Structure 1
Amino acid sequence: MTQKTFFRTLSSLAVLSVVALMALSRLAYAVEIQKVVSPKGIEAWLVEDHTVPIIAVNFSFDGGSTQDPAGKEGLTRLLAASLDEGAGDLASEDFQGKLEELAVSIGFSTGKDRFYGSLRTLSPRLTQATDLLKLAVNEPRFDETPVERMKTQLSTQIRRNQSDPNAIAGRSLADAMFGAHPYARPTLGTMESLTSLSAADLQAQHGKILTRDGLKIGVVGSIDAKTLAPLLDKIFADLPERSDLAAVADLAPRTGGTVHRELTVPQTTILLAYPGITRDDPDYQAAYVMNHILGGGTFTSWMYQEVREKRGLSYGASTSLSPYRHTGLLIGSAATKSDRAGETVEVMLNQLSRMATQGPSQDELEAAKRFITGSYPLRFDSSGKIARQLVALQNAELGIDYFDRRNSEIQAVTLEDVQRVAKRLLAEHKPTIITVGQQQG
């Protein structure tokens, strides 16, 4: 989210945070999900929880930064920053003042593939909160002064990123692996592209992305299906029925090669990347377990043990899966002293090769599965986390029963599954290596 009206909204967020903390001790992952369909056909997944008076609403639309037109990079990000900067008859300060007065939080953000929104409110203020959300979703004003303020904030972030080693590494990785694909477009945009964006551009993007056919909704809290159904129509039924999104092709990331970006900083940032896996791939759970052992399990992972614990090369080294709709990446990362960057890369590559050729032991596999299944409830210790998970399940088309199936799917992963997916992801491709720091490394 863009930094704005921080002090003005701090008290509102504090109220919601205190109430949310009250919920931590009683929310569990064994939740009952109801499918709610409004009178006009808007569908949402609902988890009722009446123990505290708080309601969390999360939603998403098809179309993220990949929908930015050429030369207008950053348009969808600016749209997300501007939707709550005045709507309907309320100018920016009036809209933000209402949020503060009611202790309501409304936010928007964008990824590569989808556009996201959220609402957090105390249940006694649900009517006023949904009034404001309806305005933001349906009638954003895009007044010149707040839009220019948002442009300035995004431009400031772009300037910061120009000297931030992590941002430079990420940008270099996208350029190297995605090429001319829309995934390579900078979500924040560029200084030049932001300058060219207008209120008319924002209105057009709003009409293209915020539509009913790509809408997914998750609701958690002190509300029942009968109350929720008409609210869904109130907020979303007036949106256009169909989107007008540009087609995005599936992508096989380019692999191999080394890119170095010179930057005078004490440490060198390292990224090692391979083609990954999409969320709907049958091998995803096996890849998830494999990644946990390789570098996703922090203190117990091979990367952490070999890079930090045994050699003291970095404060931490890790790997992660990054699934997109049209491709996926597996990324290893670390930061180390510049004069030890080469050694660190070598150690990391050795662990990737070890996983590809040998794989883990049966004991390592069982320990990973115990941790992954045992820590799963931590994803459900607040209303907001559950609401986000409900939307994520719908986005990935995993089914309303996924919460019940997930741990059994992890338990079913065998050593042969992990070895197979490790060879598929790590043995069949050469890594792309990105380093950002001083050349001496």
Structure 2
Amino acid sequence: MLKVTGMSDADEGTATRPAVLARGWSAASEPSQILKDLMSGIAGCDNPSLLAVFVSSHLPADEIVKPLAAAYPNAILVGCTTAGSLAPELYHAEGAVLIAFDSEEFSFETCLLTDLHEFSAVDAREAIENAYLQLLRKSEPEQENFFAMLLLDGLARREEQVAASAYTALEEVPIFGASAGDNLNFDATQIFYRGAVLEGAALVAIGASRRRIEVFKIEHFRPTARRVVVTSADPELRVVQTLDAEPAAEEYARLIGIPVSELTPEVYAGHPLLVRIGGDYHIRAVQKVDAQGALHFYCAIDTGSVLTLAEPEDMRDNLIENMDRLNERLGGLEGVVCFDCILRRLEAERRGIKPDLLDIFDRYGMVGFSTYGEQFQFLHLSQTLTGLAIGRA
């Protein structure tokens, strides 16, 4: 399954123009067919400056990543394993997605951070700053719109530190990003860089474009009046042992009105908690409950944090409203790169609304993958959709 695109339906009359943002996807299981689908999908982009490839962890990543890097030696290849694909014909745990950025419209520099378990904020800031300076030196005067895309090993638990380092190093450059996934196995997540498949790593891809762009985030939950206080937690491990001095899983189950035995990923997706930062609410989603009754989260949570139970808005209406506003602000959308929390897809499956979402993805040219966490500016988030919207001009 694939679509050769880089244009909206309104552009069909000018189909001979080069694709500024070409996108391909595949639901095949054989690497050879996946490669054929992906490369056909970006055929309209003759000279990409950057390729972003996102591959389900069920697939042999090296058999896809290495041939792609060899086929496009002049492009920087980045990417990661996923918890699923997002495309107009693909919103489930399988598949692969490829996005090509045209070199006439986009310039990039990348910074690879390895061995995140020995992460140094000082070294990371210096490396990211150097990449940014290199981009500034080579960017054309017309390429005055900057952005940065983060891709991180989703099990290294360094998203907060990497996002903060990038935010400090890049000054006012808007940042979006995602944590690599492995389809809820939580065994190993991987980053791709120039044909290599890595663990314990993070990538910062800094871009400059002549196109109008906007980095954004979308959440479809609002706060309720029900609150709890974190009374015991390990932020480094992202584990909360107690809420209001009670075992965390029991108190969370009581808060949402079900027995602890009924807590599942689908339940977590429908009942996230919110933390207030700088006057705005941000989601803190539960990953799992352990044998000791502690809650494991996708983001770090400190002792003393006040958590507010959230209730959902309609995901479809919320997505359309946000995308319409982006479309209006940018004067039309060329395409949208999307990093979508795995819990959003689980919620969509539970509510039976995936077909409606696929129509919305198609309408706005949305492609990306299901993540283990999302980054926006200096924040590490969960149950959120972050992304890059690219205008037609």
Please confirm whether the aligned pair reaches a TM-score higher than 0.5, indicating the same fold. Answer: no
Rg larger for: 1
The structure where strand makes up a greater share of residues is: 2
RCO higher in structure (CA 8 A, sep ≥6): 1
The structure where helix makes up a greater share of residues is: 1
Compute the TM-score of the two structures, normalised by the length of structure 2: 0.26
Compute the TM-score of the two structures, normalised by the length of structure 1: 0.24
